[in-house]
């Protein structure tokens, strides 16, 4: 790859990043790999970006175990709460990583766990609300190979 | 008489020379956790989130469980580990006076099992040995590494030091090249630590499980493409002794969490 | 299976408490090979539930995307003193259970 190509790709990437503002529906931002998965989950309904925060380190220590906090901005009342949060990966061998079911009894829509990430990627979390709407959040994580290979 | 004095003088001079060489950096040692990310530090510090504590929990169960022909538990002789074994791990590896064998913690646990409990010897990296070693070492958490180099262990210390500074493997590297000369610098995306053994057994994210110091040392041998010494071998024990001596000033952290 | 649960020592009714669980389990992905070159079969904890005084308050469907020795933290509103019961099953059908008592004082 020549320097010129790298510069052009970086510019395109930056421009498309600008394009993906939070007001836009998720579909406009998704790689094809996950669109089908998201449709399965939502039944084709629109997913709005927002209210879901995926908190995870920018650079993972090791792809085998990456700490991740999923939180959803929701009053968690009987009338208005999070039903479930689904975690999807565009790069893992299995796109569907996990699904967590909550409910008003949770009080707070927040889950912490540790995930496996098969390389640098943008993880996607989709929350299904009690009113039937879907909301999403993402996080970019850099995942590198171990510097010194360990044969076990 | 003069021969003995001369021999003693030579021994002292050689020791001083080697010590100077060994303490070339001459800085206080820093534990691997200080070179780790904020996430890893948090994971180790939180006794519930620390996966190594699962092995400590299992170790506690094994400590109290009857074993061997006479159904005798560790607790049967040692009582509560928090009392009887507090500080024990800081003094390993060491020569067992009774048997003359040079033992690390794993070796000591196995010696107890075979000679006092008439129970089978546990293999390195087995769930049981990792759990018991983690439980025992954990009783010394927070205490400074305090290995004592007896006269009978001097030879082993010398051999361990010699391994540490010897170029090995296809990459022709010695431990010192990474862990002394380049500690704190990056290797790809990782920061090289000083390679101390004060947190073992550790939970290593790369292994997705807990493991012993010998497992980690063998991984380093593989890293430089050198033939790996067997678990429990003299080479690894001697290296373990040298590392313990080098880690004086650090506290035991077991169970450590490393990437 | 070794598992540990962490709950607050005590809490008041109506308080949102933090519940933590960690289970020793390899969460085997099915993509690894053993020393002989044979694939290690997939085995993950696929279903996990938490019931508080018999009522389900949390459920997780997990895959190989969850790290080994799964760690879960979530919340629930403390109501009455009672048991939190965790139950799970892995791909091999091996079941696990862990219980912990929650002490709830009047608000």
Q: What gap in Å lies between CA B43 and CA B31, rounded to an integer?
A: 15
ipTM: 0.96
The catalytic residue positions of B are 220
Mean pLDDT of B200-210: 97
Q: Is the pLDDT of residue B26 over 80?
A: no
The Cα–Cα gap between B41 and B50 comes to: 10
If you average pLDDT over residues B25-52, what whole number do you get? 94
Close Cβ partners of B233 (under 8 Å, ≥ 6 residues apart): none
- What CATH number belongs to B52-138? 1.10.760.10
In order of B6, B19, B23, B149, the CA distances from B12 in angstroms are 10, 10, 16, 15
- Is residue A127 helix, strand or coil? strand
Q: Tens digits of per-residue pLDDT, B109-130?
A: 999 999 999 999 999 999 999 9
C74 interface with B at CB cutoff 8 Å:
no
pLDDT score, position A10: 52
Whole-number pLDDT of residue B159? 98
Strands C82-90 and C45-52: antiparallel
- Work out the average pLDDT over B57-86: 96
Domain CATH code at residue C26: 2.60.40.10
Gap from C72 CA to chain A (nearest CA, Å): 5
Range A22-141 classified under CATH 2.60.40.2470:
yes
User: CA A145, CA C81: separation in Å to the nearest integer?
Assistant: 47
Bigger pLDDT: B16 or A148? Answer: A148
- Across chain B, what does the average pLDDT equal? 93
Q: In what helix (H) or strand (E) does residue B56 lie, and over which residues does it extend?
A: helix B52-64
State residue A6's pLDDT score: 47
C8 close to B (CB below 8 A): no
Hey, what are A28's tokens?
Answer: 């406009």
Does position B150 have pLDDT exceeding 70, yes or no? Answer: yes
Compute the nearest-CA separation of A107 from chain C (Å): 5
Are A145 and B188 in contact (CB < 8 Å)? yes
Using CA atoms, how far residue B129 sits from B56, B91, B109, B201, in Å, is 11, 19, 8, 10
Across the range A11-24, mean pLDDT stands at 49
Mean pLDDT of all residues in B222-241: 97
Sort B161 into a burial class: Cβ within 10 Å, 0-12 / 13-18 / 19+: buried
| Per-residue model confidence as pLDDT tens for chain C (107 residues) | 899 999 999 999 999 999 999 999 999 999 999 888 999 999 999 999 999 999 999 999 999 999 999 999 999 999 999 999 999 999 999 999 999 999 999 87
Instruction: Look at residue C19 in the predicted model and tell me its pLDDT.
Output: 98
Is residue B235 helix, strand or coil? helix
- Flag if C29 and A110 touch (Cβ within 8 Å): no
Pairwise CA distance, residues B106 & C51, whole Å = 41
pLDDT in the model for residue A17: 47
Q: What are the sequence ranges of the domains in chain A? A: 22-141
Sequence ranges of chain B with CATH classification 1.10.760.10? 24-48+146-258, 52-138
pLDDT at B10: 59
Asked if the Cβ–Cβ distance from A149 to B39 is below 8 Å, we say no
Class for the domain spanning B24-48+146-258: mainly alpha
Question: Quick one: pLDDT at residue A21?
Answer: 44
How far is it, in rounded angstroms, from Cα A133 to Cα A121?
A: 26
Of A57, A147, A149, which is closest to B37 when you measure between CB atoms? Answer: A57
Inter-chain touch C59–A101, beta carbons under 8 Å: yes
- Please report which confidence band the pLDDT of residue B22 belongs to, taking 50, 70 and 90 as the band edges: very low
**Could you tell me if A74 and A47 are in contact, meaning their C-beta atoms sit under 8 angstroms apart?**
no
For residue A151, list chain B residues with Cβ-Cβ distance below 8 A: 218-219, 222, 228
Looking at residue A11, its pLDDT comes to 55
pLDDT at A14 over 70: no
The residues, any chain, with a CB within 8 Å of residue B77's CB and separated by 6 or more, are B116
For residue A3, what pLDDT band results from cuts at 50, 70 and 90?
Answer: very low
B58 and C CB contact within 8 Å? yes
Radius of gyration of chain B (CA): 19
Residues contacting residue B101 through CB under 8 Å, at least 6 positions apart: B95, B107, B111
pLDDT at A58 over 50: yes
Identify all chain B residues contacting A152, using CB atoms and an 8 Å cutoff. 207, 219
CB contact at 8 A, B193 and B117: no
Region of B14 (left: φ > 0; alpha: ψ -120 to 50; beta: rest) is alpha
Checking if the pLDDT of A2 tops 50, the result is no
pLDDT exceeds 70 at position A7: no
Please state, for a pLDDT cut of 70, what percent of chain A lies above it: 79
pLDDT tens figures, A92-118: 999 999 999 999 999 999 999 999 999
Give the DSSP per-residue string, B91-140: G-SEE-TTT--EE-HHHHHHHHHHHTS--PPPPTT-HHHHHHHHHHHHTT
Q: How close is the nearest chain B Cα to the Cα of A106, in Å?
A: 21
pLDDT per position as a tens digit, A84-95: 999 999 999 999
Query: Residue C59's domain spans which residues?
Result: 3-32+40-105
Q: Please state the separation of Cα B80 from the chain's center in Å.
A: 23
pLDDT reading at B17 higher than 60: no
Distance CA C38, CA C43 (A): 15
Q: How many CB pairs under 8 A join A and B?
A: 51
**Whether the Cβ atoms of residue B204 and residue B259 lie closer than 8 Å to each other:** yes
Of B169, B134, B149, which is closest to residue B56 (Cα–Cα)? B134
Number of domains in chain C: 1
Residue of chain A minimizing CA distance to B35 = A61
Q: What pLDDT does residue B207 have?
A: 96
């Amino acid at each position: 790859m020549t320097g010129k190509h790298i510069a052009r790709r970086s510019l395109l990437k930056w421009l498309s990043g600008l394009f993906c503002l939070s007001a836009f529906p998720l579909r406009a931002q998704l790689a094809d790999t996950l669109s089908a998965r998201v449709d399965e989950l939502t039944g084709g309904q629109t997913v709005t970006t927002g209210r879901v925060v995926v908190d995870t380190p920018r650079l993972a220590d090791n792809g085998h175990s990456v700490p991740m906090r999923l939180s959803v901005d929701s009053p968690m009342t009987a009338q208005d709460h999070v039903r479930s949060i689904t975690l999807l990966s565009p790069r893992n061998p299995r796109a569907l990583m996990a699904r967590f079911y909550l409910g008003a009894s949770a009080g707070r829509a927040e889950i912490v766990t540790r995930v496996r990430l098969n390389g640098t990627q943008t993880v996607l979390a989709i929350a299904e609300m009690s009113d039937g709407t879907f909301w999403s959040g993402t996080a970019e994580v850099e995942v590198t190979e171990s510097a010194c290979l360990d044969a076990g | 008489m003069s021969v003995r004095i001369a021999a003693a003088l030579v021994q002292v001079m050689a020791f001083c020379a080697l010590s100077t060489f060994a303490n070339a950096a001459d800085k206080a040692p820093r534990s691997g956790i200080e070179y780790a990310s904020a996430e890893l530090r948090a994971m180790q510090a939180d006794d519930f989130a620390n996966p190594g504590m699962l092995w400590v929990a299992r170790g506690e169960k094994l400590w109290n469980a009857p074993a061997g022909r006479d159904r005798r538990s560790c607790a049967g002789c040692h009582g509560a580990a928090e009392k009887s074994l507090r500080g024990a791990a800081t003094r390993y590896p060491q020569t067992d006076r009774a048997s003359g064998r040079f033992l690390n913690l794993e070796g000591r646990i196995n010696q107890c099992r075979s000679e006092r409990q008439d129970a089978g010897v546990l293999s390195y990296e087995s769930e049981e040995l990792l759990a018991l070693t983690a439980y025992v070492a954990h009783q010394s958490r927070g205490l400074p590494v305090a290995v004592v180099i007896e006269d009978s262990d001097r030879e082993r210390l010398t051999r361990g030091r010699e391994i540490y500074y010897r170029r090995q493997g296809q990459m022709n590297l010695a431990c010192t090249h990474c862990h002394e000369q380049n500690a704190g610098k990056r290797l790809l995306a990782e920061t090289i630590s000083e390679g101390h053994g004060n947190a073992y057994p550790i939970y290593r994210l790369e292994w997705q499980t807990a493991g012993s110091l010998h497992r980690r040392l063998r991984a380093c041998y593989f890293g430089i493409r050198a033939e790996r010494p067997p678990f429990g071998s003299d080479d690894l024990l001697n290296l373990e002794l040298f590392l313990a001596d080098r880690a004086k000033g650090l506290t035991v952290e077991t169970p450590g969490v490393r990437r | 299976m070794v598992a540990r649960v962490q709950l607050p020592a005590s809490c008041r009714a109506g308080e949102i408490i933090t519940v933590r669980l960690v289970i020793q389990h390899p969460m085997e992905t099915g993509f690894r090979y053993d020393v002989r070159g044979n694939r290690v079969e997939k085995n993950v904890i696929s279903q996990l539930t938490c019931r508080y005084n018999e009522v389900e308050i949390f459920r997780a469907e997990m895959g190989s995307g969850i790290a080994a020795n799964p760690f879960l933290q979530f919340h629930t509103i403390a109501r009455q003193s009672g048991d939190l019961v965790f139950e799970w099953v892995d791909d091999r059908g091996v079941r696990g259970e862990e219980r912990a008592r929650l002490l709830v004082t009047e608000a």
